[in-house]
Amino acid sequence: MMGQIKVLDQNMVNTIAAGEVIERPASVVKELIENSIDAGATEVNIYIEDGGKGLIRVVDNGCGMDSGDLALAFEPHATSKLKTSADLLNISTMGFRGEALASIAVVAKVSVVSRPADTMAANRIEIDCGSKDEVRPCSSDAGTTIEVRNIFYKMPARKKFLRTANTEMTHIIERFTRIALAHTDISMNLFHNDRELYRLPAGLGVRQRIGNLFSAEFAETLLELASSERNLKLTALLCRPENGRANAKFQYFFLNGRFIRDKFISAAVREAFRGLIEPDKYPVVFLFLQMPPQNFDVNVHPTKIEVRFDDSNLVYSQILALVREKLLSLDLDVQAKLPKGGQVPTQEGQDAKQSIAGAMAEFFSHSRQGIVPQRYFGFSKVAQKSDSAAVEQREHFYEKGDLQAVPSPQYLQIHDSYIIAQTEDGFLIIDQHALHERIIYEDLCRRLTCDGGAKLESQKLLVPESFELTDAGAQVLEVNKDLLQRLGIELESFGPGVWAVQSFPSLLGGVKIVEFIVDMLDVLADSVGKIDSERLLHKILNLAACKAAVKAGQKLSPAEINKLLSDKNAIERVSRCPHGRPTAIKFSLAELEKQFKRT
Ligand SMILES: Nc1ncnc2c1ncn2[C@@H]1O[C@H](COP(=O)(O)OP(=O)(O)OP(=O)(O)O)[C@@H](O)[C@H]1O
Ligand SMILES: [Mg+2]
């Protein structure tokens, strides 16, 4: 067959292009607000009806357009923002493709009223799904008002995909939020069906804007950091590790005022929080990058949500270093909150007071009366002997020679679960299991990543330990064989439905092997296809650390306590167990003195 190919008419071309840029009402809102920002507006008001399916009206006080510009603005590839091809390498505006208005105008009924600030002459133009009216004079304030009605009304196939007004509004709010976060110098207000949803005054800074968009409490707890190095300026607000969220919704990355998604940035943030935040939680991060426009390409995606960095390693490593350093500098011990003196205590306050008072009484009664059992405070031979079986069992956690007889008159184990340790300005109550778990986890991570890294050292078992495994279980093993190899776990089929452990990581010597393997298989089976291999590895390391750590209710020798506490100081990030729970609660002398009314 011949003569099948023909060039599409311009309206068809625009309609096809519109599909890329305008997906739903929220895309229109985004494009219009961005145009207002590029027009230098200091105030943008957005009025929505029926989730944007009825009406989107954006009113700005920007530079406006004269009649000539109004006639051109809706033509495809019409832009005031690029003059020469060299400008493409130096983009500092939100828009540059000259596509947005043309795309909007082919899918809806649009009307624009605009007046440049330096003239009283305002003009109006209307476009109905690509068919354009004349530009007509009218009267109006300086700036531009664009109304977009009945989106997709001539395109039933696309209209079908629009959701309820509430859902579409959620998308609009998300786009509004992204832009508002990056442009705190602009006053932005959003209304839905005549109801004011957001009123965001200009000039109050990012933290205040986050407060206005989310909540003041949320904004208050965020940590603030900044760095500037080799052309890359970074500022960030992030949550403390204990305040992570169940999804990545509160991760906002901006490059030169534009919201972007980027896998390098996400990876850097994840890595910075690794081990500090519960494995299933996501940090809250507002990250603002500034770099010269020549150092990245924004022209790789129709909605500009992705960019290509010339040096993505620099971006990755600078974000990682900044965030990591900040997190490690935090005092992650949980500060005990004692009830305020002098107030009528609430029930909650009363309970806290009583439990703290109980712990205190126990602590001081021992020390004052001098009846502290010797084995707690000194390293007595007798104690060593009586506990020797337990100690021996746990000795594999420590390098040889680590368990030294160091007198340690300032530690006390209570309920065989918590260690009370005096500090310079108060004392700590340490959860022995949580702390030990953390220490082992760190050790495992370090051996896997730093020391040449590939694989944990393992030991061949003299007598292989067998366990039952279904075919589905065997499949899970097969899928995860690389992971097992890294962990130094070697499993072999012993016959139908029976497998045996041949080798096991030396570091986990005290762990009940089969019990661990069974639990690990559960984790692996649950995780198939859900999390990436890095997260999975750390999940398994968490499990291993939990199994290998001393338990609550386990009596520790003074030497073991010493070792735990010296490791606490030595190993980074020990303030949180791998599950993100605190390992220690801190009490300050000042607080105590207040409580005992000594001050
Ligand atoms: N609110 C506004 N105030 C003043 N001028 C505007 C406004 N909106 C659009 N314009 C003018 O219309 C032109 C076309 O806008 P359009 O959004 O289609 O393209 P763009 O912003 O240049 O690029 P992009 O397609 O990447 O957004 C702009 O370049 C600008 O000159
Ligand atoms: Mg634009």
For the Cβ of 143 lying below 6 angstroms from any atom of ligand 1, the answer is: no
Residue 380 has pLDDT above 50, yes or no: no
**Across residues 262-266, what is the average pLDDT?**
93
What does residue 422 show for φ and ψ, rounded to 5 degrees?
Answer: -75, 140
Q: Which atom of ligand 1 is nearest to the CA of 104?
A: 18
pLDDT tens, residue by residue, 117-157: 999 999 999 999 999 999 999 999 999 999 999 999 999 98
Q: Is pLDDT above 50 for 103?
A: yes
For residue 278 the two structure tokens come to 């519960």
Q: 214: pLDDT confidence band, cut at 50, 70 and 90?
A: very high
pLDDT confidence of residue 164: 95
Ligand 1 pocket: which of 34, 59, 101 to mutate (most atoms <8 Å of CB)? 101
Distance of CA 241 to the CA centre of its chain: 9
Predicted local distance difference test score (pLDDT) of residue 534: 79
The rounded distance, in Å, linking the Cα atoms of 292 and 465 is 60
pLDDT of residue 420: 93
Contacts of 320 (CB under 8 A, 6+ apart): 268, 271, 272
Q: Span 98-124, mean pLDDT?
A: 95
For residue 79, how far is its CA from the centre of ligand 1 (angstroms)?
6
Q: What angle do CA 411, 412, 416 make, to 5 degrees?
A: 135
SS3 state of residue 112: strand
Strand bridging mode 109-115 / 285-290: unpaired
Is the pLDDT reported for residue 384 higher than 60?
Answer: no
Measured at the CA of 232, the angle between CA 226 and CA 235, to 5 degrees, comes to 25
What per-residue confidence (pLDDT) applies to 406? Answer: 42
CB proximity list for 404: less than 8 A, separation 6 or greater: 559, 562
Binned at pLDDT 50, 70 and 90, residue 573 comes out as low
Task: Give me the mean pLDDT over the 31-46 stretch.
Answer: 98
**Nearest protein CA to atom 11 of ligand 1, as residue:** 73
15-24, 133-142, 246-255, 490-499: lowest mean pLDDT where? 15-24
Q: Does pLDDT of 464 surpass 70?
A: yes
Residue 159 has a pLDDT of 92
Rounded Cα–Cα distance for residues 288 and 181 (Å) = 10
Closest-lying ligand to the alpha carbon of 77?
1
> Residue 353 above 90 pLDDT?
no
Ligand 2 centroid distance, CA of 10 (Å): 19
pLDDT at residue 398 in the model: 39
pLDDT of res. 568: 84
In which band, very low, low, confident or very high, does the pLDDT at 335 lie, cut at 50, 70 and 90? Answer: low
| pLDDT tens digits, 49-79 | 999 999 999 999 999 999 999 999 998 888 9
Are the C-beta atoms of residues 577 and 434 closer than 8 Å to each other?
yes
pLDDT of residue 340: 58
pLDDT exceeds cutoff 80 at 279 = no
Q: Which of 298, 577, 312, 547 is nearest to 438 (CA)?
A: 577
- At residue 403, the pLDDT reads 41
Q: What is the mean pLDDT of residues 493-512?
A: 90
Distance 101 CA to ligand 2 centre (A): 7
Q: Which residue has the higher pLDDT, 501 or 15?
A: 501
Task: Check pocket membership of 103 for ligand 1, CB cut-off 6 A.
Answer: no
Query: Which amino acid is it at 455?
Result: K
Can you tell me the mean pLDDT for 74-97? 86
User: Which atom of ligand 1 is least distant from the CA of 95?
Assistant: 26
Residue 232 has pLDDT above 50, yes or no: yes
Ligand 1 near 97 CB (within 6 A): yes
Over residues 306-311, the mean pLDDT reads 92
For residues 252 and 287, is the Cβ–Cβ distance under 8 A?
Answer: yes
CA 463 to ligand 1 center in whole angstroms? 75
Q: Is 99 in the pocket of ligand 1 (CB under 6 A)?
A: yes
Give the containing element (helix H, strand E) for 391. helix 388-394
For residue 101, the CA-to-ligand 1 centroid distance in Å is 7
Least confident of 12-16, 218-222, 379-383, 595-599: 379-383
Distances (CA, A) of 197 to 45, 194, 361: 11, 9, 53
Q: Which helix (H) or strand (E) holds 326?
A: helix 312-329
DSSP string, 239-306: --GGG-BSSGGGEEEEETTEEE--HHHHHHHHHHHTTTS-TT-B--EEEEEE--GGGEE-TTSTT---
258 C-beta closer than 6 A to ligand 1: no
User: Picking from 96-105, 122-131, 333-342, 523-532, which range would have the lowest pLDDT averaged per residue?
Assistant: 333-342
pTM, full prediction: 0.68
Ligand at minimal distance from the CA of 37 is 1
Q: At a CB cut-off of 8 Å and minimum separation 6, what does 53 contact?
A: 25, 150, 151, 162, 165, 168
Determine the residue of 33, 35, 75, 146 to mutate for testing ligand 1's pocket, defined as the one with the most ligand atoms within 8 A of the Cβ atom: 35
Distance between alpha carbon 331 and the CA centroid of its chain, in Å?
A: 20
> What percent of the chain has pLDDT above 70?
84
**CA 575 to CA 304: how far, in whole Å?**
40
Among all ligands shown, which has an atom nearest to the Cα of 78? 1
* 586 token code pair: 């801190």
Torsion of CA 34, 38, 43, 44, to 10 degrees: -30
Residue type, 384: Q
Mutate to test the pocket of ligand 1, among 20, 28, 42, 79 (most ligand atoms within 8 A of CB): 79
Q: Is the CB of 19 under 6 A from ligand 1?
A: no
pLDDT at residue 453 in the model: 60
Average pLDDT score over residue span 553-563: 90
Predicted confidence at residue 578, as pLDDT, reads 65
Calpha distance 237→219 (Å, rounded): 9
CB distance 437 to ligand 1 below 6 Å: no
Average pLDDT over residues 259-277: 89
User: Which region among 17-31, 210-224, 324-338, 479-493 has the lowest average model confidence (pLDDT)?
Assistant: 324-338
Residues 466, 472, 478, 479: is their CA dihedral positive or negative? negative
Task: Count the neighbouring beta carbons within 10 Å of the beta carbon of residue 160.
Answer: 8
To the nearest 5 percent, what fractions of the chain are helix, strand and coil?
A: 40, 25, 35
CA-nearest of 454, 424, 408, 449 to 572 is 449
Q: Which ligand is nearest to the CA of 99?
A: 1
Asked which of 179-188, 254-263, 328-337, 562-571 is least confident by mean pLDDT, the reply is 328-337
Regarding the beta carbon of 186 and ligand 1, being less than 6 Å apart is answered no
Beta bridge partners of 587: 427
Residue located nearest, by CA, to atom 4 of ligand 1: 64
Q: What is residue 366's predicted lDDT score, i.e. its pLDDT?
A: 40
Nearest to 585 by CA among 334, 377, 219: 334
36 CB less than 6 Å from ligand 1? Answer: yes
Token reading at 200: 């965001």
Phi, psi angle pair for 173, to nearest 5°: -60, -40
Q: How confident is the model at residue 285 (pLDDT cuts 50, 70, 90)?
A: very high
Q: Which helix (DSSP H) or strand (DSSP E) does residue 72 occupy?
A: helix 67-73
Region of residue 573 (left: phi > 0; alpha: psi -120 to 50; beta: else)? left
pLDDT at 361 over 50: no
Q: Which two tokens stand for residue 46?
A: 């957005």
| 452 — pLDDT class (breaks 50, 70, 90) | low
58 lines ligand 1 (CB under 6 A): no
Which of these, 126, 121, 131, lies nearest to 15 by C-alpha position?
131
Q: For the chain, report the end-to-end CA distance as a whole number of angstroms.
A: 98
For residues 513-518, give the mean pLDDT: 92
Q: Which atom of ligand 1 is nearest to the CA of 101?
A: 18
Which comes out higher in pLDDT, residue 447 or 70? 70
User: What order do you get walking across the sheet with 498-505 strand by strand?
Assistant: 458-468, 498-505, 490-495
Residue 192: partners with Cβ closer than 8 Å, 6 or more residues away: 48, 49, 51, 169
Ligand 1 binding pocket includes 62 (Cβ within 6 Å): yes
- In this structure, are strands 43-49 and 187-192 parallel, antiparallel, or unpaired? parallel
Question: Which stretch of 8-12, 53-57, 207-211, 337-341 has the lowest confidence by average pLDDT?
Answer: 337-341
- Structure letter (DSSP) for residue 151: T
At 388, is the pLDDT very low, low, confident or very high (cuts 50, 70, 90)? very low
Q: What is the DSSP letter of 121?
A: -
Please tell me the distance between residue 32's alpha carbon and the centre of ligand 1 in angstroms: 8
Model confidence at 327, in pLDDT bands (50, 70, 90)? confident
Length of the chain: 599
Q: Which pLDDT does position 73 carry in this prediction?
A: 94
For range 384-410, the mean pLDDT:
42
Q: What contacts 179, CB < 8 A, 6 or more positions away? A: 30, 33, 34, 37, 188, 259
- What is the percent of the chain with per-residue pLDDT over 90, rounded to a whole number? 50
Binding site membership of 91 for ligand 1 (Cβ less than 6 Å): no
Q: 100 CB under 6 A from ligand 1? A: yes
Cα–Cα distance between 407 and 403 in angstroms, integer?
Answer: 12
Asked whether the predicted pLDDT for residue 15 surpasses 90, the reply is: no
The alpha carbon of 28 and the centre of ligand 1 are apart by a number of angstroms equal to 12
Q: Is the pLDDT of residue 382 over 70?
A: no
Ligand 1 atom at minimum distance from 143 CA: 3
18 Cβ inside 6 Å of ligand 1: no
Spatial neighbors of 205 by CB under 8 A, at least 6 apart, are 184
Q: In the predicted model, what is the mean pLDDT of the chain? A: 84
